[in-house]
Amino acid sequence: MSRFLPLFGGRLVWRIVGRKKGALLSLFAVSAFAFVACSGGGGADDTQASSIGNVAAPPADASADAAPDFDLVLFETPNHTKGEPFKMSEQTGHPVIVNFWFPSCPPCVAEMPDLEQVFQNHRDDGLEIVGVQLVGLDTAQDGQDFVDDMGVTYALGPDEDAEIIMDYSVTGFPTSIFVNADGSIQRKWTGILNLEKMEELVSEIIN
């Protein structure tokens, strides 16, 4: 079941309610059209529960914010074979963007070309991007078909049991986690990002 709800000064959210392992999961996807009318890209940096549209400094104790490890089975892309494993703990030494998305989420779709551009801009800097798909409204096969159509080349795969989404405390889509090369979380941004804002946040995790 899904419906639009008002949030934060007239913006809309798309509330998705489903059952997983006997419990209700309430996941929120922000409408792309609502974000167009918002200033500052329409998203929010959640690093320190900051106010909407403001970027907060990261917590002083970075060791308390290590990115949770996960294993993801990847889709086929030009740079990855179908079924190839991606393990977060093996990315030490590389800055990483972990992007949470699903194919029927309009703002997720809208920011994908910019994610691909950022990946191409900073591959030589060691940047890795991994897209973690919410499975529920869309199947894993829907995800693979969508990736094929979009032509993205960075790593993507389905979170079949939603464990990665829960481990990262994702409450809205898209959400992007910016992880330093040492494995600590630098930023958590909920909502659509444009290329300019992505480049700004990427500059914080590339040394």
User: What does the pLDDT look like over 157-203, one tens digit per residue?
Assistant: 999 999 999 999 999 999 999 999 999 999 999 999 999 999 999 99
Tokens for 81, please give them. 């074979």
> Sign of the CA dihedral 195, 197, 200, 205?
negative
The total of structural domains in the chain comes to: 1
Domain that holds residue 145: 2-205
Q: How far apart are CA 107 and CA 120, in angstroms?
A: 21
User: What does the pLDDT look like over 22-74, one tens digit per residue?
Assistant: 333 444 433 333 232 222 345 677 654 332 233 333 443 434 489 999 999 99
Kindly report the CATH number assigned to the domain that includes residue 196. Answer: 3.40.30.10
User: What does the pLDDT look like over 85-132, one tens digit per residue?
Assistant: 999 999 999 999 999 999 999 999 999 999 999 999 999 999 999 999
The predicted pLDDT at position 2 comes to: 41
Predicted model pTM: 0.77
The chain-wide mean pLDDT, for the chain, equals: 79
Q: How far apart are CA 206 and CA 95, in angstroms?
A: 6
Tokens for 30, please give them. 């922000």
Give yes or no for a contact between 165 and 159, defined as CB atoms under 8 angstroms apart.
yes
The predicted pLDDT at position 42 comes to: 56
Task: Write b or e for each residue in 92-111: b if 16 or more Cβ atoms lie within 10 A of its Cβ, otherwise e.
Answer: eebbbbbbbbbbbbbbbbbb
Flag whether pLDDT at 141 surpasses 70.
yes
Helix (H) or strand (E) holding 178: strand 175-179
Flag whether pLDDT at 151 surpasses 70.
yes
The predicted pLDDT at position 50 comes to: 30
